[in-house]
């Protein structure tokens, strides 16, 4: 009993050290993200005041000076950077030049649509990819397996925006089954079920577009690992014990085969968020990706900085959780550390 | 509650992806079929002929035809959805121009005048108007039954207040610059006293340029110098307008502006119940939404997008409705550059560029030739001026004469950079790339410099850190508003849309000044013709084409807005066929 407690304590201490080390790294990474991004944005010619007035037909020098003063754009670069770093570590990302609202409010407003889109796409990719991979691995020489291989290669190679436009043309333009843009129709009522159903209909195409790309990847990974696992001793033992093939595949083999997929999915959060920018733009989905894209075009530095910092935090946390989960799932990693 | 919606949607989405595709899109259309169809006693203006696409691969011209099954009787009800690519920050067009604030502002606020498709002023809040013989006084006679959205009557003092706000706040200072004072002898008479004759003031009284705002709501903030921060510019609970629609919702982060019909509008209530202005960035998505009826009207410029729109059933495409903005694509020379300060070099460059290739091949026949800063749709445009048609031999001769003979390898020792406005490849980057190739053929080396965003490009343009740049300048219906500014010596400033070429010609300035105050239309045309001839000879810019902006709309839209201001004119007379 005491040996078990001692072992548990050591594991907790190891996990604690891992978390502390990662948090230390995270602070340096975020600091580097801030300094690098802030510097690059300021190195570009022009400033936000000129962009703001561009869409309004221009402005006089006096009006430009007023805007620059309002947003402290005339302060020395180091002063602006220093103030920003101090504010950022207090979670104050300033006000958007364009929207004139706190960046944190704008990002939080866009966070849920992005989480909805990314989580749905990721769920579809993992579940669909694993099912396809397992099916393909069970009969690797059959025609259906080859068809899936070709489909996976196609899904992996096709640019996300192209896939999105093709799905739009098929399901929205030609068949007219699904709406083309936004998260809700402009005429939808406020009823709970009506609005939820409307959101689901709007979610299908963007989530499928984003999910299809990763589903193709995960089907290839799960196929390869499943082929390896199906040839291992413990699977042969399970079959020798007379277990049904369904149980062997879905209970025993799959648990090991799915680990690489989950691990890679965790590490791909950053890539999925990046893909989300394209998907959100094509489908006019009101998420963080579209906000970032618009902010980039408008030189809305506070939004860009806030989005990058929050994205960096999301990626760091996702990687940390994936790393910890991997250690918990795979005993070899846990005891080697 | 909102998050609960999203959570439920997430959970349902996983289980319903495979089965959810069976719903009809009809519920997603914005036609509002549930609204009772009632016939209005007042008929709308004559329905303009719509141009409808021909389904041919190469034929890009449009033909006119009335929409099929269009009813002659206007129908009330439904939601009209207008899509735009630019997101409004506010709806006060007295502070800024542009389609983003202009579109909603023209719905929320009425103005003294509106304009038809031929630049003719039409009665709006002013039922009549008259210039004095010397052109120094303009008298407006207002209707007596107009009210603001809060029920307070629209009075002459509100018009005077709006002019004052515009003069103090709008970047287009020429619109009301000559206004010395505004008298309001009674509630329906506005007397505008001018320091000089100013015929362009009528255009400046369009809905998109002079929204009439209630002094009792906006006056205090304006007097305190806080009008730019005032909530009434965009907050539905504060904004009080005078136009055919009231502001119901402004959701800038989702790009939705929702307006409701104002039943007490002095011209009678609008036909549609609701007007939604939706920001959609991707033109492909807009086209599909137009097909589906999720969007009803938009403006488009992309060549490929317009080509596709031309092939769609039930979608009308027309260049009408975009003349007022008057966008002209040009190549701007930096006259402080040693090489480009030589007029022969500028002319040689102009001769080296094949405008027919640009119009017919690069732009697919969708744009029109423009030889001057005045839009070809304007009554002041003169097509007889020198257009520098493609002549590479003449270009070579001019370069030889300018002291840049061709070497053995054909190079003339001229190396220049070309910038362009990012984000609009069809009529900026593609043109810049073509011009690089065309100039290479006459021995001029041109490096095309890309800017990642508008700010970077402005950062080159404003301080004249460029040699050549593609540009798009907007005329805003009258040359005094959008043309003069590019050629005034006093306007050589480090800001965009000023005199960024550093062009100085006192004689031209004098001609422009005379044209700006000429009250006789023919005299005004002659003066602008003289100015265009001078500009064509001196070439501070090389004007190439109009921006191929087209109005694109679903044919369920009846009486579409095809005036010079298009969707930036009041949409109260637009209705949706059942």
**All domains of chain A, ordered by start, with CATH?**
2-89 (no CATH), 109-333 (1.10.3720.10)
- Compare CB distances from A204 to B20, B79, B462 and report the shortest one's residue: B20
- Among chain A residues, CA nearest to B81: A186
CA distance A266 to A268: 5
Strand partners, B183: B191
The alpha carbon of residue A246 is apart from the nearest alpha carbon of chain B, in Å, by 22
CA distance B449 to A298: 19
For residue A201, give the nearest of A218, A223, A220, A176 by alpha carbon.
A176
Q: Predicted confidence band at B154 (pLDDT cuts at 50, 70, 90)?
A: very high
Place of tokens 């460059």: B349
Chain-chain contact of A165 with B171 (C-beta, under 8 angstroms): no
Contact B527, B514 (CB under 8 A): yes
Contact of A112 with chain B, judged by CB distance below 8 Å, is answered with yes
Q: Which H/E stretch holds residue B515?
A: helix B506-517
For residue B309, give the nearest of B364, B362, B357, B376 by alpha carbon.
B364
Contact B532, B384 (CB under 8 A): no
Place of tokens 């017919």: B360
CA distance B299 to B287: 11
The mean of the pLDDT values for chain B is 87
Place of tokens 């109260």: B572
Q: Using an 8 Å CB-CB cutoff, list chain B residues near A55.
A: 86, 98, 100
Contact of A37 with chain B, judged by CB distance below 8 Å, is answered with no
Strands B79-84 and B274-279: parallel
- Among chain B residues, CA nearest to A204: B17
Q: Using an 8 Å CB-CB cutoff, list chain A residues near B10.
A: 116, 119-120
- Compare CB distances from B294 to A99, A120, A180 and report the shortest one's residue: A180
CA distance B555 to B67: 6
* CB-CB neighbours of A332 under 10 Å: 8
Place of tokens 């984003």: A210
Contact of A176 with chain B, judged by CB distance below 8 Å, is answered with yes
Res B71: pLDDT: 55
Res A55: pLDDT: 61
Could you tell me the sign of the dihedral formed by the alpha carbons of A228, A231, A232, A236, in that order?
positive
Contact of A300 with chain B, judged by CB distance below 8 Å, is answered with no
pLDDT tens digit string along B308-365? 999 999 999 999 988 898 999 999 999 999 999 999 999 999 999 999 999 999 998 9
Res A22: pLDDT: 78
CA distance A12 to B526: 89
Contact of A170 with chain B, judged by CB distance below 8 Å, is answered with no
* CB-CB neighbours of B519 under 10 Å: 15
The alpha carbon of residue A1 is apart from the nearest alpha carbon of chain B, in Å, by 42
The alpha carbon of residue A39 is apart from the nearest alpha carbon of chain B, in Å, by 14
CA distance B119 to B113: 11
Res A56: pLDDT: 60
Place of tokens 């066929």: B577
pLDDT tens digit string along B515-538? 999 999 999 999 999 999 999 999
Chain-chain contact of A46 with B455 (C-beta, under 8 angstroms): yes
CA dihedral of residues A141, A146, A149, A150 (deg, nearest 10)? 160
- Compare CB distances from B96 to A48, A56, A172 and report the shortest one's residue: A56
The alpha carbon of residue B476 is apart from the nearest alpha carbon of chain A, in Å, by 10
User: Of the spans B41-55, B327-341, B448-462, which averages the highest pLDDT?
Assistant: B327-341
The alpha carbon of residue A251 is apart from the nearest alpha carbon of chain B, in Å, by 22
CA distance A31 to A81: 11
CA distance B561 to B538: 38
Helices A269-282 and A192-230: angle between axes, nearest 10 degrees: 140
Res B493: pLDDT: 85
For residue B97, give the nearest of B482, B564, B495, B567 by alpha carbon.
B482
Range of lowest pLDDT (A231-235, B119-123, B218-222, B353-357): A231-235
Could you tell me the sign of the dihedral formed by the alpha carbons of B562, B563, B564, B567, in that order?
negative
Contact of A38 with chain B, judged by CB distance below 8 Å, is answered with no
Q: What is the mean pLDDT of residues B4-13?
A: 45
Res B12: pLDDT: 43
Contact of A79 with chain B, judged by CB distance below 8 Å, is answered with no
For the entire predicted model, the pTM comes to 0.80
- Among chain A residues, CA nearest to B287: A173
Site from B25, B32, B327, B482 to mutate, A interface, most A CB atoms within 10 angstroms: B25
Strands B414-419 and B468-474: parallel
Distances (CA, A) of A139 to A143, A257, B116, B542: 9, 16, 71, 67
CA distance B132 to B193: 10
Q: Using an 8 Å CB-CB cutoff, list chain B residues near A104.
A: none
Q: What is the mean pLDDT of residues B483-494?
A: 92
Query: DSSP of B123-154, one letter per residue?
Result: ESSEEEEEE-TTSSEEEEEE-SS-B-TTSPBP
Size of interface A-B (CB pairs under 8 A): 213
Comparing A189 with B482, which gets the higher pLDDT? B482
Chain-chain contact of B458 with A50 (C-beta, under 8 angstroms): yes
Q: Predicted confidence band at B256 (pLDDT cuts at 50, 70, 90)?
A: very high
Chain-chain contact of A286 with B255 (C-beta, under 8 angstroms): yes
* Radius of gyration of the CA atoms of chain A, in A: 25
Range of lowest pLDDT (A22-26, B147-151, B303-307): A22-26
Res A331: pLDDT: 62
Q: Using an 8 Å CB-CB cutoff, list chain A residues near B254.
A: 182-183, 286
Contact A283, A167 (CB under 8 A): no
Under DSSP, the state recorded for B509 is H
Q: Using an 8 Å CB-CB cutoff, list chain A residues near B259.
A: none
Angle of CA points B480, B482, B486, to nearest 5°: 95
Whether residue B135 is predicted with pLDDT greater than 50 in this model: the reply is yes
Chain-chain contact of A168 with B288 (C-beta, under 8 angstroms): yes
Res B21: pLDDT: 34
Contact of A78 with chain B, judged by CB distance below 8 Å, is answered with no
Strands B444-449 and B414-419: parallel
Which residues in chain A show pLDDT less than 50? 1, 335, 337
CA distance B486 to B471: 12
Res A272: pLDDT: 78
Contact of A67 with chain B, judged by CB distance below 8 Å, is answered with no
Res A213: pLDDT: 85
Chain-chain contact of B171 with A283 (C-beta, under 8 angstroms): no
Instruction: Please classify residue A70 by burial: count the beta carbons closer than 10 Å to its beta carbon, then call 0-12 exposed, 13-18 middle and 19+ buried.
Output: middle
Contact of A297 with chain B, judged by CB distance below 8 Å, is answered with yes
- Among chain B residues, CA nearest to A173: B288
The alpha carbon of residue A181 is apart from the nearest alpha carbon of chain B, in Å, by 7
For residue A153, give the nearest of A219, A96, A101, A205 by alpha carbon.
A219
Instruction: Please classify residue B391 by burial: count the beta carbons closer than 10 Å to its beta carbon, then call 0-12 exposed, 13-18 middle and 19+ buried.
Output: middle
> Where does B228-322 show beta strands of DSSP type E?
245-251, 256-261, 274-279, 297-300, 315-318
Q: In what order do the strands lie in the sheet with B327-333?
A: B444-449, B414-419, B468-474, B327-333, B541-546
The alpha carbon of residue B8 is apart from the nearest alpha carbon of chain A, in Å, by 7
Contact of A162 with chain B, judged by CB distance below 8 Å, is answered with no
Chain-chain contact of B98 with A63 (C-beta, under 8 angstroms): no
Res A274: pLDDT: 73
Chain-chain contact of A186 with B258 (C-beta, under 8 angstroms): yes
Chain-chain contact of B9 with A199 (C-beta, under 8 angstroms): yes
Chain-chain contact of B454 with A46 (C-beta, under 8 angstroms): yes
Chain-chain contact of B458 with A54 (C-beta, under 8 angstroms): yes
Res A258: pLDDT: 78
> What is the distance, to the nearest Å, from the Cα of residue B138 to the centroid of all Cα atoms in its chain?
26
> What is the distance, to the nearest Å, from the Cα of residue A144 to the centroid of all Cα atoms in its chain?
31
Q: Predicted confidence band at B48 (pLDDT cuts at 50, 70, 90)?
A: very low
- Compare CB distances from A181 to B10, B171, B289 and report the shortest one's residue: B289
**HEC letters along chain A:** CHHHHHHHHHHHHHHHHHHHHHHHHHHHHHHHHHHHHHHHHHHCCCCHHHHHHHCCCCCCHHHHHHHHHHCCCCCCHHHHHHHHHHHHCCCCCCECCCCCCEHHHHHHHHHHHHHHHHHHHHHHHHHHHHHHHHHHHHCCCCHHHHHHHHHHHHHHHCCHHHHHHHHHHHHHHHCCCCCCCCCCCCCCCCCHHHHHHHHHHHHHHHHHHHHHHHHHHHHHHHHHHHHHHHCCHHHHHHHHCCCCHHHHHHHHHHHHHCHHHHHHHHHCHHHHHHHHHHHHHHCCCCCHHHHHHHHHHHCCHHHHHHHHHHHHHHHHHHHHHHHHHHHHHCHHHHHHC
For residues B125-154, one letter each, b for 16 or more C-beta atoms within 10 angstroms of the residue's C-beta and e for the rest, the string is bbeebebeeebbebbbbbbeebebbeeeeb
- Among chain A residues, CA nearest to B257: A186
Chain-chain contact of A201 with B3 (C-beta, under 8 angstroms): no
Provide the token pair at B132: 């004095």
Whether residue B7 is predicted with pLDDT greater than 70 in this model: the reply is no
Share of chain B above pLDDT 70, in %: 88
Q: Using an 8 Å CB-CB cutoff, list chain A residues near B465.
A: 45
Chain-chain contact of B494 with A61 (C-beta, under 8 angstroms): yes
Contact of A124 with chain B, judged by CB distance below 8 Å, is answered with yes
Chain-chain contact of B23 with A208 (C-beta, under 8 angstroms): no
């Amino acid at each position: 009993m005491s040996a078990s407690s001692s072992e548990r304590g050591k594991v907790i201490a190891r996990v604690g050290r891992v978390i502390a080390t990662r948090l230390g790294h995270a602070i340096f990474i975020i600091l580097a993200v801030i300094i690098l991004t802030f510097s690059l944005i300021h190195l570009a010619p022009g400033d936000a005041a000129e962009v703001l007035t561009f869409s309004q037909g221009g402005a006089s020098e006096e009006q430009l000076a007023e805007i620059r003063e309002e947003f402290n754009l005339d302060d020395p670069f180091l002063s602006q950077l220093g103030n920003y770093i101090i504010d950022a570590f207090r979670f104050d990302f300033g006000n958007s030049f364009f929207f004139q609202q706190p960046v944190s409010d704008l990002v939080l407003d866009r966070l849920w649509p992005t989480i909805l889109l990314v989580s749905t796409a990721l769920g579809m990719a993992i579940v669909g990819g694993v099912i396809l991979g397992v099916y393909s691995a069970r009969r690797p020489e059959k025609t259906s397996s080859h068809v899936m291989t070709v489909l996976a290669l196609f899904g992996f190679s096709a640019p996300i925006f192209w896939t999105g436009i093709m799905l739009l043309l098929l399901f929205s333009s030609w068949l007219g089954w699904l709406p083309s843009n936004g998260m809700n129709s402009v005429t939808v009522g406020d009823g709970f079920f009506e609005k939820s159903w409307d959101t689901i209909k709007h979610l299908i195409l963007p989530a499928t577009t984003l999910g299809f790309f990763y589903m193709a990847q995960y089907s290839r990974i799960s196929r390869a690992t499943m082929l390896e696992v199906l040839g291992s001793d413990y699977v042969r033992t399970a079959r020798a014990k007379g277990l049904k093939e369904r149980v062997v595949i879905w209970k025993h083999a799959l648990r090991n085969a799915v680990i690489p997929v989950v691990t890679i999915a965790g590490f791909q959060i950053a890539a999925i968020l990046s893909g989300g920018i394209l998907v959100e733009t094509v489908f006019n989905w009101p998420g963080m990706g579209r906000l970032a894209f618009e902010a980039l075009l408008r030189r809305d530095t506070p939004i860009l900085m806030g989005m990058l910092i929050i994205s960096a935090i999301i990626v760091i946390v996702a990687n940390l959780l994936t790393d910890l989960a991997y250690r918990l799932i795979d005993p070899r990693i846990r005891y080697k550390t | 509650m909102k998050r609960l919606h999203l959570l439920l949607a997430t959970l349902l989405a996983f289980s319903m992806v495979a089965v959810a595709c069976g719903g009809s899109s009809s519920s997603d259309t914005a036609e509002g079929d549930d609204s009772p169809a009632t016939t209005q006693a007042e008929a709308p203006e004559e329905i303009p002929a719509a141009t409808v696409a021909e389904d041919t691969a190469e034929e890009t011209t449009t033909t006119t035809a009335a929409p099929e099954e269009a009813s002659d009787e206007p129908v009330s009800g439904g939601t009209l959805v207008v899509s735009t690519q630019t997101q409004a920050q506010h709806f006060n067009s007295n502070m800024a121009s542009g389609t983003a604030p202009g579109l909603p502002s023209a719905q929320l606020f009425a103005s003294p005048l509106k304009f038809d498709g031929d630049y003719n002023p039409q009665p709006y809040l002013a039922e009549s108007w008259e210039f004095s013989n010397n052109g120094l006084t303009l008298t407006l006679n207002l209707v007596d039954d107009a009210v603001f959205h809060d029920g307070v009557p629209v009075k002459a003092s509100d018009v005077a207040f709006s002019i004052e706000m515009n003069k103090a706040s709008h970047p287009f200072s020429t619109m009301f610059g000559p206004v010395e004072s505004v008298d309001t002898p009674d509630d329906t008479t506005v007397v505008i006293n001018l320091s000089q004759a100013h015929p362009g003031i009528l255009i400046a009284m369009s809905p998109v340029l002079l929204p009439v705002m209630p002094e009792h709501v906006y006056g205090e903030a304006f007097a305190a110098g806080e009008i730019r921060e005032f909530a009434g510019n965009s907050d539905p609970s504060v904004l009080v307008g005078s136009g055919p629609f009231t502001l119901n919702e402004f959701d800038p982060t989702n790009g939705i502006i929702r307006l409701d019909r104002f039943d007490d509008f002095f011209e009678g209530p609008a036909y549609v119940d609701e007007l939604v202005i939706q920001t959609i960035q991707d033109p492909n998505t807009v086209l599909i939404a137009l097909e589906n009826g999720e969007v009803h009207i938009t403006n488009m410029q992309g060549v490929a997008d317009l080509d596709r729109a031309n092939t769609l059933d039930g979608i009308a495409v027309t260049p009408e409705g975009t003349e007022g903005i008057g966008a002209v694509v040009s190549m701007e020379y930096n006259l402080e550059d040693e090489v480009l300060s030589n007029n022969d070099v500028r002319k040689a460059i102009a001769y080296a560029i094949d405008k027919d290739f640009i119009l017919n091949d690069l732009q697919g026949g969708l744009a029109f030739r423009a030889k001057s800063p005045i839009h070809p749709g304007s009554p002041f445009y003169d097509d007889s001026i020198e257009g520098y048609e493609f002549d590479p031999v003449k270009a070579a001769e001019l370069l030889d004469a300018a002291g840049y003979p061709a070497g053995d390898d054909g190079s003339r020792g001229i190396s220049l950079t070309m910038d362009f406005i990012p984000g609009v490849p069809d009529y900026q980057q593609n043109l810049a790339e073509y011009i690089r190739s065309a100039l290479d053929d006459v021995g001029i080396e041109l490096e095309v410099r890309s800017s990642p965003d508008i700010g970077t490009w402005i950062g080159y343009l404003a301080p004249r850190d460029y040699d050549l740049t593609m540009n798009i300048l907007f005329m805003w219906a009258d040359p005094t508003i959008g043309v003069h500014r590019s050629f005034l010596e006093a306007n050589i400033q480090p800001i965009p849309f000023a005199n960024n070429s550093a062009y100085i010609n006192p004689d031209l300035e004098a001609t422009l000044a005379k044209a700006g105050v000429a009250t006789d239309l023919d005299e005004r045309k002659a003066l602008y013709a003289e100015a265009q001839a001078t500009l064509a000879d001196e070439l501070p810019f090389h004007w190439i084409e109009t921006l191929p902006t087209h109005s694109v709309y679903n044919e369920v839209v009846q009486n579409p807005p095809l005036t010079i201001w298009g969707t930036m004119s009041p949409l109260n007379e637009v209705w949706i066929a059942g």
